[in-house]
Amino acid sequence: MFETAMLYVSDHGESLGENGLYLHGLPYFLAPDAQKHVPFVLWFGRNFDQQSLSDIQQKRAQRLSHDNIFSTLLGLFEIQTAAYDPKMDILDHTHPGHW
């Protein structure tokens, strides 16, 4: 039995015609939300621990950034290294509310 998961995150936002803008390069202070917020999708197969999935649902409204990706992937692949920071791992349920 395998645990399957998918993580997708875009590298940048994009204006797709909102207010006549078709680009992603405005300076941050001028950029609309569509250029500052990026899609982040996690999908888990049926063999994933259901309690962990429930814990993750509670984090959906929290602000995350690309900074969370590194430790989240290390945790997901169960890689043990000093570079891993459980506070940055969005799947680590031992640190709820950190974000």
Q: How many angstroms separate the Cα of 23 from the Cα of each of 10, 28, 72, 76?
A: 15, 13, 29, 33
Residue 99 has pLDDT above 50, yes or no: no
- Summarised one tens digit per residue, pLDDT across range 15-71 is 898 888 888 888 888 888 888 888 888 888 887 766 666 667 777 777 888 899 999
Instruction: Answer whether 99's CB lies under 8 Å from 62's CB.
Output: yes
* Domain ranges (residues) in the chain: 1-48, 63-99
- Summarised one tens digit per residue, pLDDT across range 60-75 is 777 888 899 999 999 8
Tell whether pTM > 0.75. no
